[in-house]
Amino acid sequence: MVWVRSEYAGELAVVSAWLAALIPWNVTYSTAEGIGGVLYIRFVFAEFVYFSDLEIDGRSFEFLSIRRAVVQQTGEFVFLAYLMWVLGAVLIAAAVVLSIVYYFRETRVEAGPIDPVRAMGALLCGSGLVLVVANYLIVTRGIPGVPIPIGTLLILVLGGMLLTADRVTEPETEPS
């Protein structure tokens, strides 16, 4: 079953990369003694943490870049999950770069040796699988609560749709 027709596959590839970069790949709510409720919203390149019963520097939330979030977890049991997150972010960053080039140089990219739609699908599926591992490690390595990997699943679905897109090209006709 084909979900995407050939004439729309390129547009879906570009939009998919940006969706993958902008949606949260993980949302986790947990409670911790002395802290209260903590809501983690992990985007591909940043993490938003909201504390329901605690203030840090007069704020009940913290916004961390991916780099700062990883540094903060250095030496912690959950550090490997954060490294997997970085790997997923690198793959999505590559997809975003490909989407920009594809958007502005569509004809040139389409004429290249690699199908850009399939390449985008592979990047998104790869990042989705790495983020599945990161979700698993978050659960098993000590961040309490239950992660909701909606974004991770969406990234996998978009990647799968791009990998299975109908990429039949029209046969070129010879000039008369």
- In this predicted structure, what is the pLDDT of residue 42? 93
pLDDT at 153 over 90: yes
pTM of the entire predicted model: 0.86
Q: Tell me the average pLDDT across 122-133.
A: 97
Question: What is the pLDDT averaged over residues 105-131?
Answer: 94
What tens digit of pLDDT does each residue of 14-26 get?
A: 999 999 999 999 9
pLDDT of residue 61 exceeding 50, the answer is yes
pLDDT for position 171: 47
Note the CATH number of domain 6-163. Answer: 1.20.140
Q: Residues 73-86: what's their mean pLDDT?
A: 92
26 touches 155 (CB < 8 A):
no
Check residue 56 and give its pLDDT.
Answer: 64
- Are 44 and 92 within 8 A, CB to CB? yes
Closest CA to 35 of 148, 143, 135, 146: 143
